[in-house]
Amino acid sequence: EPEFEPDLSIFPEGLNAEVPLVELGSVYEIIPGLKPEMLMREKMELLLKFYQKEIVAGLERADSSGKTFIVDEWTRGENMGGGITRVFQDGRVFQKGGVNFSAIYGELPPAAAQRMHANHSELKVPENGKLPFYACGLSLVIHPQHYLAPSVHLNYRYFETLNEDGTPQSWWFGGGQDLSPMYYNKDDATHFHKLLKEFCDFHDPTYYSRFKKWADDYFRIKFRNEARGIGGIFFDDLHDKEPDMLFKFVGDGLSRFLPSYLPAVKRAYLPAAGGEERPTPEAGKHWQGIRRGRYAEFNLAVDRGTQFGLQTPGSRIESILMTLPKHCSWEYNYHPGPETLEGKTVEVLKNPIEYV
Amino acid sequence: EPEFEPDLSIFPEGLNAEVPLVELGSVYEIIPGLKPEMLMREKMELLLKFYQKEIVAGLERADSSGKTFIVDEWTRGENMGGGITRVFQDGRVFQKGGVNFSAIYGELPPAAAQRMHANHSELKVPENGKLPFYACGLSLVIHPQHYLAPSVHLNYRYFETLNEDGTPQSWWFGGGQDLSPMYYNKDDATHFHKLLKEFCDFHDPTYYSRFKKWADDYFRIKFRNEARGIGGIFFDDLHDKEPDMLFKFVGDGLSRFLPSYLPAVKRAYLPAAGGEERPTPEAGKHWQGIRRGRYAEFNLAVDRGTQFGLQTPGSRIESILMTLPKHCSWEYNYHPGPETLEGKTVEVLKNPIEYV
């Protein structure tokens, strides 16, 4: 059984949340071997694999237990692609998490190809109705041990439909990152959103407000009328600029993951700030179980990405469902009172806030 | 924390699994006030409410802790129906469960009305495309404390579309019951299926084999290629006999619930039968968490009934999600070895057995 009591003895040599902010737009200086003239597929794979390593290393350093992420490389059969699943379980700071890279080739069925044509007039559906595609992505979910430390999710992906000769036809980017605290903390939420807004603004002054609202809509458990967390950014089918400009945008998003997240994890182990109310460990663990049940509800019953994956023949179920928390609870009709710490958090989940 | 060690001291005055089998086809003798000439809506409501009480009383008796089911009566607004949700939590034998009655009036949207028309040629869709309907049902899920005791589900429902004057137009019955052990036990499974086959055979010699296969298909976590349990029976859109004959069939199904289920719960607290291997309490609790995670996966990501409920405006979310276990676990890529007790259970879940 993990120990949830704040353990200050792990500082200063323990939980290491120090990750320098790299300069925005500097992806070509950061990633070894990356060159502007490469195919976007190659560039994205280099980028995603680079940050998979960086993020895994940063989380292992913060966990400070010596535990490491396991590696599962998998393929979907000949010439259909595969991935690198990296999973962590039962650490000192992190209870469960995964950082998964995948790159797959396939054929969109006619109905999906037609739907896509609506947004991409340049897209040509072959006579047999099946449209070859390429998709790659990095998908990440982390659930910490401590009830004061938020869960977090990040996903960035690139999609191409292909001509018969394998050259790209239509393309777009999608992704985002969002934070799910068990207990709302204004400083954590503001820091998280501030870093997202900064890198969005660097690329387009409209991105943050559009993508923040999109996240508030997307990461919502509709049937409960509450968000799964305090949001972040989300976007899909993004192809409003030159591919390389959006590539740099995604690169900057990935660079902001550790610096936007780790300070909130570290705070859980620090003494309460002045005026900060905290739950008892018993109440905290109980509420953590309930909130994680809600997280599982979102992923299993709401999230279109998960549902698409579960219904796709040949997809790797374990890589999709690694997003589920290790322990979830459901109690009948559990509604914390509005004056409790738990109830105040629910209030924020029901009514998204503008943080920056 | 509940105590999972088999506790023989609660016998014989403790877990009371004795429920006499009433005579098949005797629903009119059993239920006070029930008369053949009543409207089917009235008869079904009497039947379902009668068995809601019976089943709740039988489970409370077996739990033997003195804890009782709470009652939540709810309505959907004027003239739209409502229900009686009865929920149990944190008992001695049962960890969580609900036995819910509901009876609702509403209007099917045009697309749903058209789909229904395909199976019911007598069905007349009004000019505005909206089809008035009535639906009632009893829905039940029980998750015991003990890892050797199976979870169980039952659902029986009746559906009518209505003419403008409120008289029935098309109608059908649906329902079933299925058992989800954490550890496969042949005697429990055989007893459960034997009682189901007996009452099915009394009404139609083809029902059991058809509805058993339907349950094997329906209660399946498709993306894992495994069933959520050892099945039972399932049927939908049943209108192949006179309404009153199917009403008696459903009545008999309800009468078999406690006698088919409670012996399996009792067995968990009895000494192991000769040759029976049992897990350690630690392994049993761990595996119970994993299996309950699978149960939640089925309910949230697969079950059409749950998805329909979650997407229906005005439905009572807490009554729908009371089916979720209190504690669920997910571990990455957890696959017990084929020679373990857990692995042998998975083998049965992947390959349904003919029990009787």
Of A37-41, A106-110, B195-199, B246-250, least confident by mean pLDDT is: A106-110
The encoded tokens of residue B131 equal 């089809």
pLDDT in tens, B249-306: 999 999 999 999 999 999 998 888 888 999 999 999 999 999 999 999 999 999 988 9
Exactly one of B153, B191, B193, B203 is catalytic; name it: B153
Crossing angle (nearest 10°) for helices A243-255 and A40-63:
10
Q: For A65-70, what is the mean pLDDT?
A: 92
Query: How far B2 CA sits from the closest chain A CA (Å)?
Result: 15
Three-state DSSP at A143 gives strand
Express as a percent the part of chain A with pLDDT over 90.
74
CB count within 10 Å of CB B119 equals 12
Cβ–Cβ gap A330/B311 under 8 Å = no
Cα gap A241→A247, rounded to integer Å: 10
pLDDT for A166: 83
Contacts of B321 in chain A (CB under 8 A): 297, 330
Cβ–Cβ gap B223/A311 under 8 Å = yes
Query: CB-based contact (8 Å) between A324 and chain B?
Result: yes
pLDDT in tens, B114-147: 777 777 877 888 888 788 999 999 999 999 999 9
Tally of helices (H runs) and strands (E runs) in chain B? 11, 10
Considering chain A, what is the average pLDDT of its residues? 92
pLDDT for B1: 47
Cα gap B272→A355, rounded to integer Å: 60
pLDDT for B7: 58
Query: CB-based contact (8 Å) between A97 and chain B?
Result: no
DSSP A201-239: HHH-TTHHHHHHHHHHHHTEEGGGTEESSSEEEEEEEE-
Q: Is the pLDDT confidence value at B215 over 90?
A: yes
- Among A317, A327, A332, the residue with its CB nearest the CB of B327 is A327
Give B176's Cβ-side CA count (13 Å radius): 24
Q: Is the pLDDT confidence value at A14 over 70?
A: no
Q: Is the pLDDT confidence value at B9 over 70?
A: no
Report residue A77's pLDDT band, with 50, 70 and 90 as the boundaries: confident
pLDDT for B308: 85
pTM of the shown model: 0.93
A259-296 burial: b if 16+ Cβ within 10 Å, else e: bbbbbbbbbbbeeeeeeeebbeeebbbbbbbbbbbbbb
DSSP B169-232: EEEEEEEEEEEE-SS--HHHHHHHHHHHHHHHHHH-TTHHHHHHHHHHHHTEEGGGTEESSSEE
Cβ–Cβ gap B333/A224 under 8 Å = no
| Residue where the block lists tokens 């120090």 | A18
Exactly one of A143, A146, A153, A191 is catalytic; name it: A153
Q: Is the pLDDT confidence value at A214 over 70?
A: yes
Q: Is the pLDDT confidence value at B90 over 80?
A: yes
Q: Is the pLDDT confidence value at A6 over 80?
A: no
Q: For A174-195, what is the mean pLDDT?
A: 97
Assembly ipTM: 0.92
Of A25-29, A74-78, B9-13, B316-320, least confident by mean pLDDT is: B9-13
Q: Is A153 a catalytic residue?
A: yes
Considering chain B, what is the average pLDDT of its residues? 92
Contact by Cβ (8 Å): A335, A118: no
* Amino acid at site A201: D
Query: How far B287 CA sits from the closest chain A CA (Å)?
Result: 13
Whether the ω angle into residue A126 lies within 30 degrees of 0, i.e. cis, is no
Contacts of B98 in chain A (CB under 8 A): 332
* Amino acid at site A236: D
Q: For A208-228, what is the mean pLDDT?
A: 97
Contact by Cβ (8 Å): B309, A224: no
Name the pairing type of β-strands A168-180 and B151-162. unpaired
Cβ–Cβ gap B293/A89 under 8 Å = no
| Residue where the block lists tokens 């028309």 | B117
Cα gap A349→A230, rounded to integer Å: 6
Of B110-124, B231-245, B331-345, least confident by mean pLDDT is: B110-124
Three-state DSSP at B251 gives helix
Tally A–B CB contacts below 8 A. 83
Query: How far A298 CA sits from the closest chain B CA (Å)?
Result: 9
Give B108's Cβ-side CA count (13 Å radius): 24
Beta bridge pairs of residue A175: A156, A235
pLDDT in tens, B155-211: 999 999 998 888 888 999 999 999 999 999 999 999 999 999 999 999 999 999 999
Measuring CA to CA, which residue among A56, A82, A77, A75 is closest to residue A67? A56
Greater confidence (A77 vs B217) lies with B217
Using CA coordinates, name the residue in chain A closest to B325: A330
Query: CB-based contact (8 Å) between B65 and chain A?
Result: no
Q: B residues 288-307 near A, CB within 8 Å?
A: 289, 293, 296-297, 300-301, 306-307
pLDDT for B13: 55
pLDDT in tens, A231-251: 999 999 999 999 999 999 999
Cα gap B98→B91, rounded to integer Å: 13
Beta bridge pairs of residue B84: B73, B101
pLDDT for B287: 98
Q: How far is CA B332 from CA A96, A297, B42, in A?
A: 9, 18, 49
Query: CB-based contact (8 Å) between A73 and chain B?
Result: no
pLDDT for B3: 54
Query: How far B224 CA sits from the closest chain A CA (Å)?
Result: 7
Q: For B326-331, what is the mean pLDDT?
A: 98
Cβ–Cβ gap A327/B322 under 8 Å = no
Contacts of A316 in chain B (CB under 8 A): none
